[in-house]
Amino acid sequence: MRIPFIAGNWKMYKTMAEAREFAAKFKTLYHGTDVKTAVFAPFPQLALLTKQFEGTGIGVGAQNVHFEKEGAFTGEVSVPMLKEIGVEYCLVGHSERRQYFGETDETVNLKIKALLAGDILPVVCVGENLQEREEGAEEKIVSGQIKAAFKDICHEDAVKITVAYEPVWAIGTGKTATPEQANQMCFCIRMTLKELYDEETADKIVIQYGGSVKPENASEIMNMEEIDGALVGGASLDPLKFIEIVNF
């Protein structure tokens, strides 16, 4: 059985003081549910958040990582560095990293392997852009991203990975994919995983939808058969909005 997973991506928002304020408030609102939850914060706030959320069941994730353990890679952060401060999850291949920072299908795959080897759970983002959707190429693009991301990853490791389907045209734009569009693409992702592995493995992998999820549309999205969770950007910055989504 797949456990629903609702995660917040803070992107490059919140100073230390703001992160502390969020954590204090969110802890008073969160009473534990059947839904797994986590906050993906900027690097400087991660150690603070793992301390603040210790014992609460609220997970903490990074938004990026380097695939090498150490080395002359100025400005980068490694898996052991994240692990040491209690980080449980890490985003890989968010469309903003693919678009602005040269993330490729190859680096996505290397990062996933490094995270799994270092015992941090990857959340891999895939999704088509507007032009690709208008050309009717969304399924081809997304299944290609999935095949590249899961390349040479064994069954036992594959089930530790969460997939976030995030159509690029719906991120931070206020445009949400219709629940049917999101459901169809999550179905397509599961079929690709079934092709790569087998039905049992594919059925265990959690697939989130992301793209302008907010309190008003969360339950409709979460009630779709193929959607197991949500990756929430803008609305996760406000503890009151984020808790409403977690408690959809």
The distance of closest approach from Cβ of residue 52 to ligand PEP in the complex, given in angstroms and rounded to an integer, is 22
Half-sphere exposure of 237 (CA within 13 A, CB side): 12
Residues 6+ apart with CB under 8 A from 166: 94, 95, 125, 126, 127, 209, 210, 211, 231
At what angle are helices 239-246 and 16-29 packed, to 10 degrees?
Answer: 40
Residues 6-25, one symbol each (x = binds ligand PEP by CB under 6 A, - = not), give ---x-x--------------
Give me the phi and psi of 7, to 5 degrees please: -125, 150
Q: Given the rule CB under 6 A, which of 54-62, 113-121, 190-198, 210-218 is the region that contacts ligand PEP?
A: 210-218
Annotated active-site residue 66? The verdict is no
Radius of gyration of the chain (CA): 17
CA distance 20 to 222: 29
Least Å distance, CB 85 to ligand PEP, is 22
Identify the residue among 122, 127, 167, 210 touching ligand PEP (CB under 6 A).
210
Q: Which residue has the tokens 């594959």?
A: 158
Candidate residues 61, 93, 127, 233; the one interacting with ligand PEP per rule CB under 6 A = 233
| Nearest residue (CB) to ligand PEP, 206 versus 231 | 231
Alpha carbon distance 165, 183 (integer Å): 10
Q: Which is nearer to ligand PEP, 211 or 215 (CB)?
A: 211
93/210 with CB nearer ligand PEP: 210
171 binds ligand PEP (CB under 6 A): yes
Q: Applying CB under 6 A, which residues contact ligand PEP? A: 9, 11, 166, 171-172, 210-213, 231-234
Residues catalogued as catalytic: 94, 166
